[in-house]
Amino acid sequence: MALGCMRLVTGNDLTDRRLNVAVVGLGYWGPNRLRVLVDNDEAAVTHICDLDAERLTRFAQRHPTTNASPHFDDLLEDDGLDAILLATPVFTHYALAKKALEAGKHLFVEKPLAGSSCEAAKLVLLAAERELVLRCGHTFLFSPAVRAIKDLLDRGELGELYFVSSSRVNLGLHQQDMSVVWDLGPHDFSLLLYLLDQRPTWVSANGRDSIVKGVPDVAFLDLGFDSGLLANIELSWLAPSKLRRTVIVGSEKMVLYDDSSREPVRVFDQGVVYEDPESFGQYQLSYRTGDIVTPRIDTGEPIDLEMRAFFHDIAQFKIADRSLDIATDVVQLIESAESSMENQGEKTVIPASLGRERRATRASD
């Protein structure tokens, strides 16, 4: 189930050779990307980059055919480099991404896209102006299990959607430069936006900096939609076990998505039927209990599928509009949630989608 794309107008021809790619940032996500790219037949990792000399040396020894440099500008000066994968701390994203795009490099940025919605919007516009592909790493959207749930929702099998409940907790890893909302929130926000094809209009969030003062490590978020749908998200770095679990409840069926389970998707044919009272004081509910179905899930590693989608966009000269909408909306949701936390859970209105504004501006040009 592809995210919507728009065709780019460009003169570059990258369809007849492997793409030359650089991986920048070798902390957590960078090595994961590097592992997948080594076995990818569509790309060759020609450069790796990290400020940590020991880390850079270690990966250079593992991948001796790559050019290793601690200097980001070295990559930009290489005319043979086609694309950059940026896996650095979030608040470095904008400056590095801007440089990469201005140097004519296609760009993949780990989530979230930037450290503010304003910066995210600027990057999207710059990529369009330079006729370059820009993607953000919301890997769960390429999970075959998530795609299966999306198919169920698109077919209307759950009926009217009532609410979504999600828990994403573990013990660590504490981040020094961002809250748990910036760190874990993008996963659940991107899932909501992708699965529901709706955008929340308000958020109320509470959090606590239990360990490091000024860095919230637990947060509880409530989100509301114009349709009446409600969502509740629990995020925490302080939990006895790792849990990535989402429940979607509809009028006809319910879905349980547990990323850590051998059966990641389970569909419950269960519900409650309310009958209008015929007389005062009459109140009747009937409970329906049907089958519990575990659908067949396609195989495929999400991170590999995501990389292939990025390379496909480059080869076909396409901008993944829906993907960029989700990336910019995620940053707006984070900002709104943080604002609500700063105001003791006050309900905060989420601004209009920057993605829709961007398309409207482009259409009028």
Taking only the tens place, the pLDDT of each residue in 170-219 is 998 888 889 999 999 999 999 999 999 999 999 999 999 999 999 999 99
Residue 96 CA to residue 86 CA, distance in Å, equals 8
Indicate if the pLDDT at residue 7 is higher than 60: no
Looking at residue 333, its amino acid is L
- Radius of gyration for the alpha carbons in the chain, expressed in angstroms and rounded: 22
Torsion of CA 334, 183, 327, 229, to 10 degrees: -50
Q: How confident is the model at residue 6 (pLDDT cuts 50, 70, 90)?
A: very low
Could you tell me if 47 and 34 are in contact, meaning their C-beta atoms sit under 8 angstroms apart?
no
Which structure tokens are listed for 294? 């575990």
Domains of the chain (ranges; CATH) run 143-293 (3.30.360.10)
Tokens 């978020």 found at: 221
Q: Please state the length of the chain.
A: 365
Q: What is the pLDDT of residue 47?
A: 98
For residue 107 the two structure tokens come to 């760009």
Cα 251 from Cα 162, distance rounded (Å): 7
Per-residue pLDDT at 10: 42
- pLDDT on residue 1: 43
194-229 as b/e: b if 16+ CB within 10 A? bbbeebbeebbbbbeeeeeeebbbbbbbbbbbeeeb
- Tens-place pLDDT, residues 110-154: 999 999 999 999 999 999 999 999 999 999 999 999 999 999 999
pLDDT at 278 over 60: yes
SS3 339: helix
Instruction: Report the chain's mean pLDDT, rounded to a whole number.
Output: 91
Q: In degrees rounded to 5, what are phi and psi of residue 353?
A: -65, 125
Share of the chain above pLDDT 90, in %: 80
- Candidates 246, 225, 226, 224; CA nearest to 235 is 246
Helix (H/G/I), strand (E/B), else coil: 126? helix
* pLDDT tens per residue across span 148-165: 999 999 999 999 999 999
Separation of alpha carbons 240 and 115, rounded Å: 30
